[in-house]
């Protein structure tokens, strides 16, 4: 699934890995494909309810593998629709129950209204997190899931508390599009660090190699400042 530019998350990870001196290989996975046997990082995007129905059977077949990889500290990024399916279930507003795969201790219930607009949330680990939400699902965290962040502007997981996204080990899940990682490079670097450390045993981040890339870093901070000032 890939709506609202979620493929941009892959592009950011690929480029930032190159800046660190690695040669990333991106393998696309579609329902029915053979799941790669040697993977370092998993990224999935959002999709409409109809898209979730299309992938659910294939996703259920992968459930034991994905749960095992999550328990084994493999870093993953799950956005919006995939975030919902990483939980126990998604019950649509029409009462259709779409089973999840149980990577995350969450459940999602379709609501009568969509939660739409810019979001500003804050995480102790990642600082301010900026993005854009567009979902009707109301997601609630269980005792074994921690929120990714707490919302200052917007709705986040639901309209009843101030949480946004969820965390489990090295799994990062969020409702935020935009794409998420271009606006929030700290999350991208977290995923990279965990992937490299899991593969090679350690990660020694390199400085930005030249002034041009330093300029891009300043541009990123400027973009984040503008994002925080955008109206809901």
Q: Is 177 a catalytic residue?
A: yes
Q: Which residue out of 80, 109, 130, 135 is catalytically annotated?
A: 80
Beta strands in the chain, from DSSP E residues, in sequence order: 42-44, 76-79, 89-91, 97-99, 106-123, 127-141, 149-153, 163-164, 166-168, 171-174
DSSP 3-state percent helix, strand, coil across the chain (nearest 5): 35, 25, 40
Rounded to whole angstroms, the Cα distance separating 63 from 99 reads 11
Q: Is 80 a catalytic residue?
A: yes
Rounded to whole angstroms, the Cα distance separating 72 from 196 reads 14
Q: Which residue out of 93, 130, 150, 177 is catalytically annotated?
A: 177
Nearest CA-CA partner of 84 in 64, 55, 62: 55
The annotation status of 114 as a binding-site residue, yes or no, is: yes
Residues flagged as binding site: 114
Catalytic annotation, residues: 80, 177
Residues flagged as binding site for substrate: 114
């Amino acid at each position: 699934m890939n709506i609202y530019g979620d493929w941009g998350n892959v592009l950011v990870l690929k480029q930032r890995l190159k800046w660190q001196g690695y040669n990333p290989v991106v393998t696309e996975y579609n329902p029915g494909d053979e799941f790669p046997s040697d993977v370092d990082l998993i990224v999935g995007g959002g999709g409409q309810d109809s898209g979730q129905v299309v992938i659910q059977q294939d996703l259920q077949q992968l459930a034991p593998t994905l749960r095992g990889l999550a328990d084994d500290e493999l870093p993953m990024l799950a956005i919006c629709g995939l975030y919902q399916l990483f939980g126990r279930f998604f019950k649509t507003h029409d009462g259709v129950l779409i089973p999840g795969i149980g990577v995350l201790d969450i459940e999602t219930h379709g609501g009568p209204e969509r939660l739409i607009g810019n979001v500003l949330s804050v995480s102790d680990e990642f600082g301010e997190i900026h993005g854009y939400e567009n979902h009707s699902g109301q997601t609630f965290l269980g005792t074994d899931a921690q929120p990714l962040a707490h919302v200052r502007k917007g709705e986040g997981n639901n309209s009843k508390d101030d949480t946004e996204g969820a965390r489990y080990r090295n799994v990062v899940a969020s409702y935020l599009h935009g794409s998420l990682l271009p606006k929030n490079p700290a999350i991208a670097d977290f995923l990279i660090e965990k992937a490299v450390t899991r593969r090679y045993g350690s990660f020694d981040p390199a400085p930005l190699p030249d002034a041009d890339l330093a300029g891009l870093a300043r541009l990123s901070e400027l973009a984040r400042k503008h994002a925080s000032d955008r109206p809901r």
